[in-house]
Amino acid sequence: MHTRKFLTLTVIACSLFLTNARAQKLKNFLDNSDSSFTWLGVDFTQARLIGDAGANTADAVDRHFAGINQVVVNEPKKYDVPGNLHHEKVTYDISLVNKRNAAINKDNIKTDNVSDGSRLKPEDISTLVKGFDFGGKSGIGALVVMEGLNKTANEASMYITLIDMDRRRVLLTERYTGKAKGFGFRNYWAYSVYKALEDFDDDYKKLKEKYADAKDPVEETPKKEGKTAIAQDGAKAAKKPKKKS
């Protein structure tokens, strides 16, 4: 009896520990600059190129999207990813987004609808992350989900997102806009990512306050289905009548 009670208490204690650990992932990341994370790059699968009728979308998909991701990795002093996210340790892996971006339908990128640059919501980012293949990676991942590349306004809109890669869940996602500048498609739009990361850096203290009491999402436990009326009736029917003595 005592052994059974001890085991029950142990299970409860372990369960509470794991729940608390999950609930602390975002807070630990924001509070501890010495923790590591993976820079996943810029996902363009939801992006719309607005007001740029002369753009070569095939070239953008085949070369420039990968080029933008590469320039962020190749120029760490300018695109200070760990510094802008207030961390010391970062691992770069843009292979996953490059694979996704290469499969974009080139015919669906262009639009003249300005509202396409502000159509995404945090729920859309969560849906994207749930369908993301992280290739077995674990820990915290940082991903930029590009929303709109507005040539008319010379700016891009995007969501800077922190992810629990183990569970494919969004821990934090914030929308930013960044001014575009430079020569050529790659440099022009890469600059907007640079500006958005700088703004994230400036907002870091506010973000820590905003998410100070945030709890990481916990997967709901499915309710157990009770016996159906048919099953119950069938069970009754299966019972044999008692023999009279």
Write phi, then psi, for 191 (nearest 5 degrees): -60, -30
Helix (H) or strand (E) segment spanning residue 165: none
By the 8 A CB rule, do 82 and 200 touch? Answer: no
Give which of 155, 152, 153, 157 is closest to 121, Cα–Cα: 157
Q: Is the pLDDT of residue 176 over 50?
A: yes
Is 141 among the domain residues?
Answer: yes
Is 244 among the domain residues?
Answer: no
Q: Is the pLDDT of residue 242 over 60?
A: no
Is 222 among the domain residues?
Answer: no
Sign of CA dihedral 177, 181, 185, 190: negative
Give which of 144, 153, 143, 149 is closest to 185, Cα–Cα: 149
Give which of 161, 178, 164, 220 is closest to 28, Cα–Cα: 164
Mean pLDDT value of segment 96-100: 98
Is 23 among the domain residues?
Answer: no
Is 217 among the domain residues?
Answer: no
Query: pLDDT band at residue 216, thresholds of 50, 70 and 90?
Result: low
Is 2 among the domain residues?
Answer: no
Kindly report, residue by residue over 112-145, the tens digit of the pLDDT. 999 999 999 999 999 999 999 999 999 999 999 9
Q: Is the pLDDT of residue 226 over 80?
A: no
* Structure token pair of residue 134: 């992280």
Percent of the chain residues past pLDDT 70, beyond the cut: 78
Q: What is the pLDDT of residue 215?
A: 74
Mean pLDDT value of segment 9-29: 56
For the chain, list the strands marked E by DSSP: 36-43, 48-50, 89-92, 110-111, 140-150, 155-164, 169-179
Of 64-68, 77-81, 208-212, 227-231, which gets the smallest average pLDDT?
A: 227-231
- Domain of 73, in residue numbers: 33-205
Is 53 among the domain residues?
Answer: yes
Of 21-25, 61-65, 201-205, 227-231, which gets the smallest average pLDDT?
A: 227-231
Q: CA–CA separation, 19 vs 171, rounded Å?
A: 15
Is 16 among the domain residues?
Answer: no
Mean pLDDT value of segment 155-179: 97
Q: CA–CA separation, 22 vs 24, rounded Å?
A: 5
Q: Is the pLDDT higher at 231 or at 201?
A: 201
Whole-number mean pLDDT of the chain?
Answer: 85
Question: How many domains, the chain?
Answer: 1
3-state secondary structure of 200: helix
Query: pLDDT band at residue 236, thresholds of 50, 70 and 90?
Result: very low
DSSP string for residues in 120-164: --HHHHHHHHHT---TT--SEEEEEEEEEEETTTTEEEEEEEEEE
Q: What is the pLDDT of residue 21?
A: 44
